[in-house]
Amino acid sequence: MNRKVYLDHNASTPVHPEVVAAMLPYFSEHFGNPSSVHGFGREAREGLETAREQVAHFLRVGKEEIVFTSGGTESDNMAIKGVAMGRRRGHLITSKIEHHAVLRAVQNLETLGFEATYLDVDGDGLVDPEAVRRAIRPETILISIMHANSEIGTIQPAREIGAVAREHGIPFHVDAVQTLGKAPIDLDAFNIDMLSFSAHKIYGPKGVAGLYIRKGTKMVSVQHGGEHERRRRAGTENVPGIVGLGRAVEIRGRDMADEAVRLTALRDRLWEGIRGRVPDVRLNGHPTRRLPGTCNICFRHVESESIVLGLDLKGVGVSAGSACTSGNVEPSYVLVAMGVPVEWSMGAVRHSLGRSTTAEDIDYVVESTAPLVAKLRSAMPARA
């Protein structure tokens, strides 16, 4: 019987048992609509506001600055379109390696007459704060740079970029879906005006997320309806989910520091193990300035989906850096932006570790990967 090893925590995480326990009463017991005036509604409202306090406490911000949404994608869209629609025209700065929720929101604004600059990154996936400064125009209305990229885990110099944004009085949005509760973020020190985060990346439920909006940030609502979330996001709140998000964030506050140390050691054990057993491999992303649990490795001249399938058959869940859809393979746009040659980027595999990952799991993955890659390479034709 194969071991089961889940190394795809950047895609999603199992809900923490303490989070499940916190959520359960809000399905059938405290089921009221938090906007209702009666006691049933007040019980639900209490859960909602407790969660808001938990998140605000973790971020060290005011609870009125937290808006709950349905996911990281909605949070990103709300931040970017909310600022842009309030201005009606202008220029936005982002990077080439943002999540599609940011990239496509900005591209959508371009079709409406807004202008955008997509900044390059270096070979480690870092945005240069001076490049941000050079891209600023008099009409720039927003800078949106992620905190860490989901594929490679490189952590951006948010503090330095935030300083540039503040110097020019431009709102700074940070997609922190991959970093909240994994790496320290100081909203004041980094001059962050809006921060997107999500529950299911930190052992909370899917379909619930949040956006921090610094008091005084000028933006409009992009979803219209009722008076929910201080008129910033219409729609009845997902109370059990939000309660889960609040508890998940609280647990991260308790566990984050110790887990970061443990996962960094395991992440490096994985890379050292693979590097020692498999020739022609490279690590993608910054060698040290990287999420504790993220290890993206290119296996030269091997197709990443064949590795993912081979490891899946050994009970290991990882994700492919290149995606083959309808017979057309696209190497990862993140790796392309970093200048990784195609014969490498086609063989990119992301391993993302989490709270259940053990040293034995890592050793098993290394032991499973080495013969698999050797077998795939042995059947590989030399290209003319």
Q: Tell whether residue 301 is a contact of another protein (CB under 8 A).
A: yes
Of 3-11, 220-228, 243-251, 318-326, the segment contacting another protein by CB under 8 A is 318-326
Segment holding 179, helix H or strand E: none
Segment holding 338, helix H or strand E: none
**319/205 Cα distance (integer angstroms):** 21
Q: Tell whether residue 328 is a contact of another protein (CB under 8 A).
A: yes
CA distances for 123 relative to 89, 177, 269, angstroms: 33, 23, 23
Q: Restricting to residues 198-237, which ones interact with another protein according to CB under 8 A?
A: none
Task: Report the largest interatomic distance among the alpha carbons of the chain, rounded to a whole angstrom.
Answer: 75
Token digits of residue 286: 């910054």
Q: Tell whether residue 1 is a contact of another protein (CB under 8 A).
A: no
Q: Tell whether residue 169 is a contact of another protein (CB under 8 A).
A: no
Token digits of residue 323: 């995606």
**370/374 Cα distance (integer angstroms):** 6
324 catalytic? Reply is yes
Answer for which of 112, 189, 309, 374 binds another protein (CB under 8 A) is 309
Point out the catalytic residue in the list 21, 313, 323, 324: 324
Angle (deg, nearest 10), helices 100-111 and 72-87: 30
**203/18 Cα distance (integer angstroms):** 10
Identify which of 104, 103, 98 has the alpha carbon closest to the alpha carbon of residue 145. Answer: 98
CA distances for 238 relative to 105, 170, 221, 242, angstroms: 24, 32, 18, 6
Nearest distance in Å: CB 303, another protein: 5
Answer for which of 34, 310, 321, 354 binds another protein (CB under 8 A) is 310
Of 47-55, 140-148, 301-309, 360-368, the segment contacting another protein by CB under 8 A is 301-309
Q: Tell whether residue 300 is a contact of another protein (CB under 8 A).
A: no
Q: Restricting to residues 92-131, which ones interact with another protein according to CB under 8 A?
A: none
DSSP-derived secondary structure for 272-294: HHHHHHSSSEEEES-SSSB-TTE
- Find tokens 């219409």 and name the residue: 234
Q: Tell whether residue 324 is a contact of another protein (CB under 8 A).
A: yes
User: How many residues at the interface with another protein, by CB under 8 A?
Assistant: 23
Q: Tell whether residue 374 is a contact of another protein (CB under 8 A).
A: no
Q: Tell whether residue 327 is a contact of another protein (CB under 8 A).
A: yes
CA distances for 102 relative to 27, 109, 176, 285, 363, angstroms: 32, 11, 12, 20, 36
Q: Tell whether residue 383 is a contact of another protein (CB under 8 A).
A: yes
Segment holding 107, helix H or strand E: helix 100-111
Of 80-88, 214-222, 245-253, 302-310, the segment contacting another protein by CB under 8 A is 302-310
Nearest distance in Å: CB 2, another protein: 12
Mark residues 249-288: x for contact with another protein by CB under 8 A, - for none. Answer: ----------------------------------------
**317/332 Cα distance (integer angstroms):** 19
Answer for which of 346, 353, 366, 373 binds another protein (CB under 8 A) is 346
CB-wise, 53 or 343, nearer to another protein?
A: 343
The amino acid at 91: H
Nearest distance in Å: CB 305, another protein: 4
Answer for which of 73, 191, 198, 306 binds another protein (CB under 8 A) is 306
Of 175-183, 196-204, 245-253, 304-312, the segment contacting another protein by CB under 8 A is 304-312
Which stretches of 159-221 are assigned E, i.e. beta strand? 172-175, 194-198, 209-213
Q: Tell whether residue 370 is a contact of another protein (CB under 8 A).
A: no
Query: How many beta carbons lie within 10 A of that of residue 113, not counting itself?
Result: 9
Enumerate binding residues for another protein (CB under 8 A): 301, 303, 305-306, 308-310, 313, 324-329, 342, 346, 375-376, 378-381, 383
Active-site positions? Answer: 324
